Structures are given as C-alpha cells and as structure tokens.
C-alpha cells in the first residue's frame, strides 16, 4: 500500500509507469500474505517490483512504449516475469521505456517522457532518466518499487542505472530467457535487473535467470547462488582498465571517479592492470548497424493484421503502410530504414557483413583480455544525466551515450553499473563492471567493492 501510495503521489510527475496495476497488485499482495501465513514464502515473497513494459504479462497491457501495441493484451506471461511471480514477487505496474527500447533518454516513448527524480544542485531543470529502461530506473530511484526488470540491448539497463544513481545488471547473453520479451535486436537483447544495491540485484537475477527451452538462445547453464557471491571479496582478482576507454574529451570528473573506484578495488586487495581492447572505436558503428538490421526484421511483424493497431486501408498493402506510418514513432522508423538499407542487396556486404566481422573482432578483444584479467572496470557513461534538448536533437549525439556499454552486448558479456559518486552538480555517476561470459559472480563481487 505504501508503494502504491508513492506511485500515486509521484507518477503524475515522473511518468515512470505506463500502467499501474493497483487493485490487481493488492490482490496479489493478499495472496502473498496468505502464502507467508502458511509458511510457503518464496525468496521474493511480497516484494513490490516494476516490470519494463517490454515483458509480456498475461492479461496486462504490454505496449513496448509504442502506439502500435497500445491496445495489446498478451495472453501469456514472459518466462522472466513468470519466474519472479513463482518466487512471490508482486508487480505494481508496467514501466515506461523508449519505444521498442530504442533510445538512451526515454524521450521516444509514445506514452510521454520519463523524468529523472534527481536534480542538479539548486536547479529545477527536468533531467532525462536515461534509456531505454528509464521508467524502471526512475521508479526504483524514487522508491516507488524495490526493484524492477529491464532489458539491455546496448546499455539500456546500465546507462539509466547510472543516470538514476542505482544498480543495474545485464547478465550474459542467454542467461535469462527472451521468451515473451518484445524483440528489438535478438542477438543483443538480454533481460536484467535494477535495484538499490548489488545484493538486491543478485537476488533478483537469481530468480529471473535459468534455461528455458522456449528460447532457442537460452543457455543451458546452471544458475549459481548469485547472492552468495556478493560478499566474496576481490582479494587477488586482476581488474583490467582498457586504455581505449580513456576517450579524448572524457570529463575530468568521470576520469577522477574512475580512478577513485580503482583505488577502492586496490585497497580491497585487487590488482589493477592496464589492458587493450583495440577494436573499441568500431563498437558504436558496428552496434548501430547490427541492432537496426535485426530490428527492421523483428518489427516486420507489426503489420496491423495479427495484433496491435490496425488502420483502415484500401487493400492489404495500403493497410500495412497506414498502420506502420501511424503506429511507429520517428526513432523506430529511422531504425527500420537504416536496418533495411544495410541489409539490402548491394549494401549487405559493405555494411552488415562487415559489421558482423568486426563484431567477432570485438569479441576476440575481450577473450584475449580475459586471459589476463578477471573483470574490467570502466565508466558507464561519458556524462551524467542531461536535460531534454541538451543532447537530444542530433541522433548521433544520442548514440554516443552508448559508447561504453554496447561492447558488452556485442560480445555477449555480463555488465553491471554501480553508483560510484556524484558530480559537481550533485548528479550520480556510475562505474561499469564487465565480466567473463557467465561469470556474473565476479561482477557482483567487484561491484560490491565499489558501491
Ligand atoms: N541506446 C541504445 C539504442 O538505442 C540501446 C538501447 C537498448 O539497450 N535497448 O539502441
């Protein structure tokens, strides 16, 4: 009740939730109390959570932040949310997001912008929460829920976690099932968790993860006790610092915070090692070819025939065109056009195929680095949260936000953002921990030493 009251008080300003499941949530909470009374409490019994509105929830509208799915009520539950429910979680609502998870600021949602609960010292300017999981991050930061699900295709959990001063983990590709998660770029998409601490993230991920035969890319790998790994410590670990991430123009505050985080790790017994990830500078262009290519293919299903919005048309083709013209926003259309272009005859070899080859080189950079280090620590973002209009008119400027995060998706590696301090204006900044494939345990231990 307290959390629903907080949502009622703050959501009109923050717009963190597209749908609030008030009565249904109270029923779920009462059922949860009853289970507890019978001594049947699950590991997340009664914990109020938010769910990014990209996860299908049976009987609850799932919009993907898009007008084209504005009236879509899934008849089934995603595997990740089903597992959270199995463990006793209570969902309070569906969190706002960039349309189809395309964005870094939550300015592309068809359901309005999300406001970051943080403000610069002495200023009232509205700041973006980051994206695409901006509603989830803002809801956790503003204490509307204790945790939330997110998805991360190129940084959409880690970047909003950093902008909102909370913790967010994107696990290894294949760790969480994508069944029932609206697809953006299937070879990059991963579900993950937001919470206020590394430990809470570990507990949530433990519930969300696991093999699912309904997702052909789900990994049949045992889920370790993530929460137990949190307090493992970092003594004797080798932490890599990639020299290519010391970008020209990286703010001195972020560079200083990065050094501070490394100093904490050194004090806790880790060894700091400089490493090289030589193909880093190709990561953003590679990502912005691969992701739109897959998106253009995935989004072909929104044709006005099978589900979602349908506009009237004179014939089938006209119906498709009118539906897609009316249903998709500008950023989604831009991605579909880029993706269709890079996949088209004559350009496929020059763009898509080449991007796939570079993706393999980026992955190899990490494989090489992990021969000598156990985890990699970098800033999560090149700046703190910005105001609408500051960074947002030029799509390429917006894409630059993802410069530190897209590499982990291209290589399929686990990555987490942990709050590491405030900038001179009082805004939170995050540090990113990247681990070996399926070694979230080390990521949690290193994150715990920084938070
Ligand atoms: N900002 C990136 C994009 O717009 C990442 C989005 C995401 O991770 N879902 O593609």
Closest-CA residue to 277 (of 369, 154, 406, 378)? 369
Alpha helical stretches, state H, 268-315: 283-298
- DSSP code, position 2: H
Task: Quote the DSSP letter at residue 437.
Answer: T
Q: Are 301 and 268 in contact (CB under 8 A)?
A: no
53 Cα–ligand 1 center, Å: 15
Sequence spans of domains, the chain: 1-451
Q: Look at residue 392 and tell me whether its pLDDT is greater than 90.
A: no
Q: Reply yes or no on whether the pLDDT at 46 is more than 70.
A: yes
Confidence check: pLDDT of 391 > 80? no
Active site residues: 52, 132, 156
Find the 152 Cα to ligand 1 centroid distance in Å: 7
At residue 240, the pLDDT reads 98
Strand positions, DSSP E, 125-199: 147-152, 167-170, 190-195
ipTM of the modeled complex: 0.97
Band of residue 252 on the pLDDT scale cut at 50, 70, 90:
confident
In this predicted model, what pLDDT tens digit does every residue of 307-363 receive, in sequence order? 889 999 999 999 999 999 999 999 999 999 999 999 999 999 999 999 999 999 999
Candidate of 157, 291, 380, 403 to mutate for ligand 1, largest count of ligand atoms within 8 Å of Cβ: 291
Q: Which pLDDT tens digit goes with each residue over 160-201?
A: 999 999 999 999 999 999 999 999 999 999 999 999 999 999
Q: Which ligand 1 atom is nearest residue 409's CA? A: 8
Residue nearest atom 5 of ligand 1, based on CA coordinates = 154
Q: State the average pLDDT for the chain.
A: 96
Using the predicted structure, report yes or no on whether residue 273 has a pLDDT greater than 70: yes
Distance 234 CA to ligand 1 centre (A): 31
pLDDT in the model for residue 271:
98
Mean pLDDT of 125-136: 97
Sequence-distant (≥ 6) Cβ neighbours of residue 55 within 8 angstroms: 62, 78, 80, 81, 149, 151, 180, 181, 182, 191
| Domain 1-451 in this protein, CATH class | alpha beta
pTM of the predicted model over 0.95: yes
Q: Is the pLDDT of residue 210 over 70?
A: yes
% the chain with pLDDT above 90: 94
Contact 262, 149 (CB under 8 A): no
- pLDDT over 70 percentage in the chain: 100
DSSP 8-state code for residue 431: E
pLDDT, residue 367, reads 98
Q: Is the pLDDT of residue 445 over 90?
A: yes
DSSP letters for 197-266: SHHHHHHHHHHHBS--TTSTT--------HHHHTTS--TT-EEEEEGGGS-TT--HHHHHHHHHHHHHHH
53-62, 121-130, 333-342, 386-395: least confident range? 386-395
**Which of 55, 64, 104 has the most ligand 1 atoms within 8 A of CB, as the residue to mutate?**
104
CA distance 29 to 21: 12
């Amino acid at each position: 009740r307290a959390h629903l009251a907080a949502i009622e008080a703050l959501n009109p300003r923050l717009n963190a939730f597209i749908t609030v499941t008030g009565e249904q949530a109270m029923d779920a909470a009462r059922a949860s109390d009853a289970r507890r009374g019978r001594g049947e409490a699950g590991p997340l019994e009664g914990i109020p959570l938010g769910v990014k509105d990209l996860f299908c929830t049976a009987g609850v509208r799932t919009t993907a932040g898009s007008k084209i799915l504005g009236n879509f009520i899934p008849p089934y539950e995603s595997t990740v949310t089903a597992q959270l429910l199995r463990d006793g979680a209570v969902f309070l609502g569906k969190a706002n997001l960039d349309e189809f998870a395309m964005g870094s600021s939550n300015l592309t949602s068809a359901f309005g912008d999300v406001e970051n609960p943080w403000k610069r010292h002495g200023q009232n300017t509205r700041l973006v929460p980051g994206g695409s999981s901006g509603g989830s991050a803002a809801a956790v930061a503003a204490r509307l829920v204790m945790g939330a699900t997110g998805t991360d295709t190129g940084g959409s959990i880690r970047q909003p976690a950093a902008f909102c001063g909370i913790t967010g983990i994107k696990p290894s590709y294949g760790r969480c099932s994508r069944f029932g998660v609206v697809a953006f770029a299937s070879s990059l998409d991963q579900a993950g968790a937001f919470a206020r601490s590394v430990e809470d993230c570990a507990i949530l991920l433990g519930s969300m993860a696991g093999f699912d035969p309904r997702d052909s890319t789900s990994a049949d790998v045992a889920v370790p006790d993530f929460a137990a790994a949190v307090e493992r410590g970092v003594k004797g670990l080798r932490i890599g610092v990639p020299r290519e991430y010391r970008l020209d123009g990286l703010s001195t505050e972020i560079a200083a915070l990065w050094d501070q985080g490394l100093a904490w790790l050194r004090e806790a017994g880790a060894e700091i090692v400089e490493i090289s990830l030589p193909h880093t500078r190709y990561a953003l262009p590679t990502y912005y070819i691969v992701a739109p290519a897959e998106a253009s293919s995935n989004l072909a299903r929104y044709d006005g025939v099978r589900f979602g919005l349908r506009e009237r048309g004179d014939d089938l083709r006209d119906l498709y065109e009118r539906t897609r013209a009316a249903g998709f926003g500008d950023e989604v259309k831009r991605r579909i056009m880029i993706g269709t272009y890079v996949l088209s005859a004559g350009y496929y070899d020059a763009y898509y195929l080449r991007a796939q080859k570079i993706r393999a080189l980026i992955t190899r950079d990490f494989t090489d680095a992990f021969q000598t280090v156990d985890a990699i620590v970098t800033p999560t973002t090149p700046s703190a949260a910005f105001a609408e209009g500051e960074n947002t008119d030029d799509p390429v400027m917006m894409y630059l936000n993802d410069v530190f995060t897209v590499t982990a998706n291209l290589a399929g590696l686990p990555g987490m953002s942990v709050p590491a301090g405030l900038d001179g204006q009082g805004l939170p900044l995050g540090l990113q921990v990247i681990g070996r494939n399926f070694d979230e345990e080390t990521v949690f231990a290193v994150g715990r030493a920084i938070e």
